[in-house]
Amino acid sequence: MLRWATAMVPRLGGEAERTWQLPVTDIRAGRRKGLLPSVAMRWERARPWVQAVGAGVSLALALPGPALVPLVLVVPGLLRRALAGLRPRRAFLVGWVGGVVQWAIAVAWVLIVLGRHGGLAWPLAVVALAIMSGILGWMWALAATLVACVPERWHGWLLPWLLVCLEMLQHLPPWIFPWNPVAAVATPLPWLMLPLPVVAAPGLSLLLLLAGSGLDLLLDRGYRRWGALQLALVGLVFAAASALAPPFRAAGEPLVAAAVQPNVPLEVRWEPENERMIEERVWRLSAEAAARKATLVVWPESAVPRYLQQDGVYRQTVEGFTRRRGVWLVIGSIGFGQGEDEYFNSVFVAAPGGLVPYRYDKIHLVPFGEYLPLVGKVPFLRPLVREVSSFTPGTHALPLPAAGTTVGLQVCYEVTYPSLVADEVRRGAELLVTITNDGWYGDSAAPRQHLALAILRAAESRRFMVRAANTGISAIIGPDGRVLERLGVGLEGVIQQRVQPGRGVTPAVAGFVWIRAGILLVAAGAILCGAWKRRRGTP
């Protein structure tokens, strides 16, 4: 019988890590010496990396696109096991590898943006994706490092809190990319979004990760009681938040809203000879919506390659259409400021009586898409912004009147910012309207991921949302996050639905700052307390 010798190597705070040693005796004469210990030692070295990669792959596949939702439950367990017994420095590297893998898979559509539309050679596009994933992977790396500073028995419940904290900081440098929150995995399942109006997207992300961590602890012999307790608490909070979620409150009369999807590929849109064809298609679809009794017709971002503010003929055409048809149009177009170089990505509203005298200017611009700080030094980035060299950001959220209600507007990437939607709802927005051009992404996971963010905003604020996308996915979303109508990628047409303006402010909107501050404070307090206990050598 094979005997194993193990040594207990002291770690931080008196904890120990088990390392495999060579066998004291051979298995039998004639057999290779040390084979089984060698395999075990190799696995022990590789185990953290394999488990971290598994966690990254699982989260990427759970997100919209693949949408293998149950995989989100294995993420915290795999990551906890990967970090078991590691010092902070090694934990950083293991967490970083897992994060890099997750982002490289989840945003692989960046290759389409840079390679097909940015004119970048495919090998360089792959390098750019690797750099981007490397930067975004720091979030998991930081979470892993902090977890390694506290007693190991804390890892199961603390790791989800840290992952959500760093998820909330994604809009800050060096990331500036608040994309793919964990809560997005819930969007295909409306019942999973029931607590959203109370806990907001970060709270739902936390509940999902804590549930997965609780299941993992339940399967670990030494932590079964903690796992059962954690699952019970998650279930209790989920049920309570779902029960306390305020019902939808109607404001005013319902209206018929339509979203136009002309499906004009980017390659076609930029050619001057196609301008007439594009305009005729948009007007034809708008007339179809008006004929079907729509009172609010939403165009996608920059649907027509003309400038509404400066082109008098175009403006007269718009005003003539709204007057004859008795409809309101929401139009994305370039807006111009007072300065010579002031250009805005703007939204205008045209009423049956003429153009509304004010507009909404996009506040949150896409880095390296709508403003290019390195455009002079990196020439291959120029094709990504063809109309102007750099947009100017807007300064404040401004809901606009339309079709007897007040609409809160988000342009493309802005729907990733819950603070903007919350601000618009607090300012009186009764209906949400999002316009975008997702033609950059092709038929990849990106349009699905982008739609998921719109679903989260609608469910958090208890508002109907009309989403118009040039090449798809256009959608009309209910206040509970259900997609009532949708038009897929690469299709041309109109979708419309009877929508009801809403009123009131949900706890997720009213407590926007407090929910996030609470999560940050709990995590920070736990880290300080855990680090102090570990330094003293107490469990």
Q: Indicate if 394 and 354 belong to the same structural domain.
A: yes
Whether residues 349 and 266 fall in one domain: yes
pLDDT of residue 24 exceeding 70, the answer is no
Question: At residue 267, does pLDDT exceed 90?
Answer: no
Is residue 272 classed exposed, middle or buried when 0-12, 13-18 and 19+ CB atoms within 10 A define those classes? exposed
The residues carrying an active-site annotation are 301, 362, 412
- When pLDDT is averaged across residues 373-394 and rounded to a whole number, the result is 57
Is 135 found in the same domain as 22?
no
> Are both 322 and 292 inside the same structural domain?
yes
Residues 202 and 126 in one domain: yes
Looking at the 3D structure of the chain, how many domains does it have? 3
Q: According to the model, what pLDDT value does residue 368 have?
A: 62
Given this model, what pLDDT does residue 43 score? 79
Q: For all residues of the chain together, what is the average pLDDT?
A: 87
If pLDDT is split at 50, 70 and 90, which confidence band does 277 have?
very high
Highest mean pLDDT range out of 10-14, 79-83, 175-179, 303-307?
A: 79-83
More confident residue, 21 or 245: 245
Higher model confidence: residue 342 or residue 457? Answer: 457
DSSP bridge pairs for 502? 250
Contact 454, 414 (CB under 8 A): no
Domain boundaries, position 18: 6-41
288 and 406 part of one domain: yes
Say yes or no: 355 and 441 in one domain.
yes
pLDDT in tens, 441-461: 989 999 999 999 999 999 999
pLDDT attached to residue 150: 87
- 414 lies in the same domain as 363: yes
The pLDDT of residue 143 is above 60: yes
* Residue 331 pLDDT exceeds 80: yes
**Res 328: pLDDT:** 97
In a domain, 1, yes or no: no
What pLDDT does residue 298 have?
97
Q: Quote the pLDDT of residue 317.
A: 94
Q: What are phi and psi of 228, to 5 degrees?
A: -65, -40
- CATH number where 430 lies: 3.60.110.10
Q: Where are the beta strands (DSSP E) in 414-512?
A: 431-436, 465-469, 474-477, 483-487, 493-499
Does a structural domain hold residue 322? yes
Same domain, yes or no: 339 and 413? yes
Arithmetic mean of pLDDT, 279-301: 96
317 shares its domain with 283: yes
Q: What is the per-residue pLDDT for 538?
A: 56
Contacts of the segment 370-375: beta carbons below 8 A, 24+ positions apart:
370/345
> Tell me, what's the pLDDT at 162?
95
